[in-house]
A and B are shown apart, each in its own frame.
Chain A
């Protein structure tokens, strides 16, 4: 494999990691609070608000059921508004974030709903404010589940990032398609796939390790 191709592999890897990391981070910034809200506004929950819960839930579902490749092109005007351009790696972060946030929200919602209701009751009995119940009871107790969910999100984002080549986002998936498929370079395709596998393995084992470290439920 030529030095040029190697350099391209390195650059594409960097682009993939950059896109996944930034969209994962911004996705968490939006998704985590949204997930908390979804969990606590449900019927019979801490701050029951069925109307909000239904509307937020519907939006999340809509975003999650849109195929990613369609999402990418459908929101091009919005992407241009946010990133200044609709083409390139940085621009690709916008649709990736929009895909990640609702995913993270559902994952966080699930993890928080798993927390024993008895703990919320204990919190109330101590005179905790709702925000204290969220910050001191729900989030710390849901943390292992949230870490698992974020790991899952990162792995999904690595997969999604392969599709942003459609808008010039670059990354490993794009490289694999252009060189490996369109230019008949099977060794390039193989290299891309191997790197992706290694990336996913690293993310998954890192996530598992952190989740295990924060999980004090079974020692």
Chain B
């Protein structure tokens, strides 16, 4: 649906000359967004997310590379062709960007007015959109009378008015509280399912990705650091940046009091601390009892957590394994053969359970 081909974008900040001060916002980015999916783009501020989403509807023109939306080369269009193409791409914003001088209904009607649709037709189109976002009773209110979440609902209804093929969401929940964020994300997921709309979501919050995205790209200093299925990226983050971004929502970390006790060196008689990551079906495997039975290990659970990513279970377990190095090695190999993620975090001198 959306294809970015080797797209680069550099700016010359005001007051500097092109030779000295060009800033590379995006560096040779290639991405493909499939029809009907919710594609997330995550990165820290300054990673180039905003630039990336604005390249899709050409609010920003790439310095090099091509942008294709629904097979149309956006970069090759003239001004009027571009305006027509933009009417098929809805966009919602962090600060909603509603017209304060128009009521809710007239804000939603705006894209239709711009397209020159007759008044009667516009009215008929606006009502169901207000129903869809749950604001039918607010049709004659002004944005100043609405809460942040309601404003974003108006933004969504407005973005859908021209029946776009693609919806671009630029940090649409970043100005909202967690509860409202959840309801807006649920609405976006619902629209995606009901209308089969392709949605691109830009965010700095991994939680947003975890809740609604099917696939995700991690953006780091203008480059795609990692890309893939959300479940894979969240459960097996490949880069340090992704690990840090993921840490907040899928807990790979340890409580500090446990982390402090773990050392890199193996003292005689020390227990090995393992982190076992369960994905999908493996989350149901009776791993612990098997390890102790088949490998003769004494296992003590230090920390554990089970999570869900788009309905698929995902768990982390940190255990302390008391046994000979061979026994531990055997257990690790066994776990790997079950395609569980295993990692040796370190060693503890005396058993934590015994110390406690």
Least CB separation from A124: chain B residue: B59
Interface flags, B263-297, vs A, CB<8A=1, else 0: 00000000000000000000000000000000000
Q: Are A122 and B93 in contact (CB under 8 A)?
A: yes
Q: Are B91 and A125 in contact (CB under 8 A)?
A: yes
Q: Are B142 and A125 in contact (CB under 8 A)?
A: no
Among A121, A122, A126, A143, point to the contact of B101 (Cβ < 8 A).
A143
Q: How far is the CB of B204 from chain A (nearest CB, A)?
A: 18
Q: Are A219 and B144 in contact (CB under 8 A)?
A: yes
Flag whether A7 is at the interface (Cβ < 8 A).
no
Q: Are B59 and A136 in contact (CB under 8 A)?
A: no
Q: Are A218 and B144 in contact (CB under 8 A)?
A: yes
Least CB separation from B83: chain A residue: A127
Contact residues, A76-133 vs B (CB, 8 A): 116, 118-119, 121-129, 132
Q: Which residues of A contact B113 (CB under 8 A)?
A: 136
Flag whether A216 is at the interface (Cβ < 8 A).
yes
Least CB separation from A116: chain B residue: B97
Flag whether B51 is at the interface (Cβ < 8 A).
no
Q: Are A217 and B100 in contact (CB under 8 A)?
A: yes
Among A43, A118, A127, point to the contact of B114 (Cβ < 8 A).
A127
Q: Are A141 and B145 in contact (CB under 8 A)?
A: no
Q: Which residues of A contact B93 (CB under 8 A)?
A: 118, 121-122
Contact residues, B90-129 vs A (CB, 8 A): 90-91, 93, 95, 97, 99-102, 110-111, 113-115
Flag whether B18 is at the interface (Cβ < 8 A).
no
Flag whether A140 is at the interface (Cβ < 8 A).
yes
Q: Are A122 and B91 in contact (CB under 8 A)?
A: yes
Among B57, B97, B111, B142, point to the contact of A118 (Cβ < 8 A).
B97
A118-B93, A124-B86, A125-B86 as given contacts; A216 in contact with B101, CB under 8 Å: yes
Q: Are B99 and A126 in contact (CB under 8 A)?
A: no
Q: How many of chain A's residues have a CB under 8 angstroms from any CB in B?
A: 25
Flag whether B162 is at the interface (Cβ < 8 A).
yes
Q: How many of chain B's residues have a CB under 8 angstroms from any CB in A?
A: 30
Q: Which residues of A contact B331 (CB under 8 A)?
A: none
> Given the complex of chains A and B, what is the CA–CA distance between A129 and B86 in angstroms?
11
Contact residues, B43-80 vs A (CB, 8 A): 57, 59
Q: Which residues of A contact B301 (CB under 8 A)?
A: none
Q: How far is the CB of B126 from chain A (nearest CB, A)?
A: 15
Among A44, A116, A127, A217, point to the contact of B87 (Cβ < 8 A).
A127
A122-B91, A122-B97, A214-B101 as given contacts; A127 in contact with B84, CB under 8 Å: yes
Least CB separation from B111: chain A residue: A126
> Given the complex of chains A and B, what is the CA–CA distance between A120 and B161 in angstroms?
18
Q: How far is the CB of A131 from chain B (nearest CB, A)?
A: 11
> Given the complex of chains A and B, what is the CA–CA distance between A173 and B336 in angstroms?
97
Q: Are A136 and B114 in contact (CB under 8 A)?
A: yes
Q: How far is the CB of B89 from chain A (nearest CB, A)?
A: 7
Q: Are B100 and A141 in contact (CB under 8 A)?
A: yes
A217-B100, A217-B144 as given contacts; A125 in contact with B83, CB under 8 Å: no
Interfacial residues, chain B to chain A (CB-CB below 8 A): 14, 57, 59, 82-87, 89-91, 93, 95, 97, 99-102, 110-111, 113-115, 142-145, 162, 168
